[in-house]
């Protein structure tokens, strides 16, 4: 009989939700994290009374009622609705692409006029592909031109996407852009999901609620004393990097990462919105986040005379940096698959979350996965 039923490596949403459920099932858990705080990438730091999303802006969104009710049972969520604005050479456009955007781009007033404008541009893209003898879009640029046309592609997509991925749109897979909704209504809500919001009081409340009454240790790296950690629990839940778990025996997986440049400003309202994307290539950052707008609405924004902003610079990942986005190319996917096969054969280790599965997951699917695990 070992000291713990579960050793949980990583206190992000996967590990914390697992610990919560395991405790409810009467299991004894220890959660360790190599960072100096709990919560993984949803962790926020309070600066000037503002919850600053230290690892990038996090907006919870889902259409799954069970997931929504679960997170709200831990901490109620607010009514934040993500409506990013794009800045291209000083002109502002609403996102996602909707009637407001089409009006700002072309001055079109009705959905029929907008549709006609987009159709005209799509036809051009189609003809260009046909004369090149191509049936399916071969890359992100062709996909975007077919979906929305040249004006929007060149103003709102090309620069942003090339900065985000560090590669030309002609070298990126088409599927990345399929996620962007196109709407012929005046609706700036970025997500199509039924529910969205931010935990009232910030994400740390969610993590604290999930981990309440559970033993935790921060500044504790599983690999610094692997034999010890493996000896103290019947089973391990591992949410760190899968290639590291196997000592990189097949090679290193790649990631994209983000560098944040954070500033506290003596102004109550810097940009009037939580998210402003900079879509031209000459601006080196992809977007500016103004954190207070996630939790303060309307005139509440002026209750605090200061604000905190973060400029996001998308960069190539190197060892020692935070691994954020799995790279979805053939080589990395094939390598990840080899590691996943090893993982599938383990009887006492559950691999879960973004790093252990090497898959980009939003928060809600992570929770959904954990709610469905047999504990």
Report the C-alpha gap between 363 and 60 in whole angstroms. Answer: 7
367 binds, among ligand FAD, ligand UDP, none (CB under 5 to 8 A by kind): none
Residue 256 annotated among the catalytic residues of the structure: yes
Element (H, E) at 239: none
Residue 252 tokens read as 């290193």
Closest to 307 in 3D by CA, of 252, 268, 250, 261: 268
CB nearer to ligand UDP: pick between 27 and 311: 311
Does residue 14 bind ligand UDP (CB under 6 A)? no
Q: Which one of residues 24, 79, 179, 228 is an interface residue with ligand UDP (CB under 6 A)?
A: 179
CB of 257 to ligand FAD, least distance (A): 8
Q: Which one of residues 11, 121, 277, 307 is an interface residue with ligand UDP (CB under 6 A)?
A: 277
160 binds, among ligand FAD, ligand UDP, none (CB under 5 to 8 A by kind): ligand UDP
Among the residue ranges 29-37, 173-181, 265-273, 279-287, the one whose residues contact ligand FAD (CB under 6 A): 29-37
Closest to 256 in 3D by CA, of 165, 191, 183, 156: 165
Report the number of secondary-structure helices (H) and strands (E) in the chain.
Answer: 14, 16
Among the residue ranges 99-107, 111-119, 281-289, 351-359, the one whose residues contact ligand FAD (CB under 6 A): 351-359
CB nearer to ligand FAD: pick between 313 and 361: 361
CB nearer to ligand FAD: pick between 41 and 101: 41
Buried b (16+ CB within 10 A) or exposed e, 34-51: bbeebbbbbbbeeeeebb
Report the C-alpha gap between 174 and 32 in whole angstroms. Answer: 39
Residue window 224-253: x/- pattern of binding to ligand UDP, with contact defined by CB under 6 A: ------------------------------
Report the C-alpha gap between 129 and 111 in whole angstroms. Answer: 26
Does residue 326 bind ligand FAD (CB under 6 A)? no
Does residue 34 bind ligand FAD (CB under 6 A)? yes
Length of the chain in residues, anyone?
A: 375
58 binds, among ligand UDP, ligand FAD, none (CB under 5 to 8 A by kind): ligand FAD
Does residue 317 bind ligand FAD (CB under 6 A)? no
For residue 214, report the phi and psi dihedrals to the nearest 5 degrees: -110, 140
Give the up-direction half-sphere exposure of residue 20: CA atoms within 13 A in the CB hemisphere: 21
Q: Which residues contact 100 (CB under 8 A, 6 or more apart)?
A: 93, 94, 186, 188
DSSP for 54-70, written as a single string: TTS---EEES-HHHHHH
Cβ-based burial of 304 (10 A; exposed 0-12, middle 13-18, buried ≥19): middle
Q: Which one of residues 156, 237, 289, 309 is an interface residue with ligand UDP (CB under 6 A)?
A: 156
What are 312's strand-pairing partners?
260, 287
Q: Which of 287, 295, 339, 354 is catalytic?
A: 287
Residue 331 tokens read as 């080589």
Is the separation of the CB atoms in 81 and 189 below 8 Å? yes
CB nearer to ligand UDP: pick between 11 and 277: 277
User: How far is C-alpha 46 from the chain's CA centre?
Assistant: 21
Residue 119 annotated among the catalytic residues of the structure: no
CB of 229 to ligand FAD, least distance (A): 9
309 DSSP assignment: E
Residue window 353-372: x/- pattern of binding to ligand FAD, with contact defined by CB under 6 A: xxx-----xxxx-x------
CB of 359 to ligand UDP, least distance (A): 13
Q: Which of 179, 247, 266, 319 is catalytic?
A: 179
Task: Measure the N-to-C terminal CA separation of the chain; round to a whole number of Å.
Answer: 18
Does residue 62 bind ligand UDP (CB under 6 A)? no
CA angle centred on 295, ends 287 and 74, rounded to 5°: 115
Residue window 158-177: x/- pattern of binding to ligand UDP, with contact defined by CB under 6 A: --xx--x-----------xx
User: Site residues (CB under 6 A) for ligand FAD?
Assistant: 9-15, 32-35, 40-42, 55-60, 221-223, 239-240, 258, 324, 353-355, 361-364, 366
Q: Active-site positions?
A: 179, 183, 256, 287, 312, 360, 362
Which residues make up the interface to ligand UDP (CB under 6 A)? Answer: 86, 95, 156-157, 160-161, 164, 176-177, 179-180, 277, 279
């Amino acid at each position: 009989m070992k000291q713990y039923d579960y050793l949980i490596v990583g206190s992000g949403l996967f590990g914390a939700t697992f610990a919560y459920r395991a405790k409810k099932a009467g299991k004894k858990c220890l959660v360790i994290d190599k960072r100096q705080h709990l919560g993984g990438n949803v962790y926020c730091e309070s600066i000037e009374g503002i919850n600053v999303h230290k690892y990038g802006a996090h907006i919870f969104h889902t259409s799954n009622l069970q997931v929504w009710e679960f997170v709200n049972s831990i901490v109620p969520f607010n009514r934040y609705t993500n409506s990013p604005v794009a800045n291209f050479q000083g002109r502002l456009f609403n996102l996602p692409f909707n009637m407001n955007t089409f009006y700002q781009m072309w001055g079109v007033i009705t959905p029929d006029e907008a549709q006609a404008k987009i159709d005209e541009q799509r036809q051009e893209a189609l003809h260009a592909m046909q004369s090149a003898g191509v049936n399916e879009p071969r890359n992100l640029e062709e996909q975007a031109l077919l979906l929305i046309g040249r004006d929007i592609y060149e103003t709102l997509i090309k620069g942003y996407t090339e900065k985000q991925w560090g590669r030309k749109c002609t070298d990126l897979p088409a599927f990345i852009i399929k996620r962007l909704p196109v709407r012929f209504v005046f609706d700036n809500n970025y997500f199509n999901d039924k529910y969205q919001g931010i935990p009232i009081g910030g994400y740390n409340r969610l993590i604290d609620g999930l981990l309440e009454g559970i033993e935790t240790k921060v500044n504790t790296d599983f690999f610094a004393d692997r034999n010890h950690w493996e000896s103290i629990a019947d089973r391990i839940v591992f949410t760190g990097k899968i290639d590291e778990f196997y000592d990189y025996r097949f090679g290193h997986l790649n990631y994209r990462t983000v560098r944040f440049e954070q500033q506290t400003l003596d102004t109550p309202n810097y940009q009037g919105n939580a998210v402003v994307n900079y879509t031209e290539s000459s601006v080196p950052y992809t977007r500016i986040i103004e954190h207070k707008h996630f939790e303060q609405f309307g005139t509440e924004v002026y209750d605090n005379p200061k604000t905190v902003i973060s400029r996001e610079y998308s960069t190539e990942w190197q060892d020692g940096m935070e691994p954020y986005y799995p790279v979805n190319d053939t080589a990395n996917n094939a390598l990840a698959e080899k590691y996943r096969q090893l993982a599938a054969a383990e009887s006492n280790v559950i691999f879960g979350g973004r790093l252990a599965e090497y898959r980009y997951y939003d928060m809600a699917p992570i929770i959904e996965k954990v709610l469905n695990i047999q504990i």
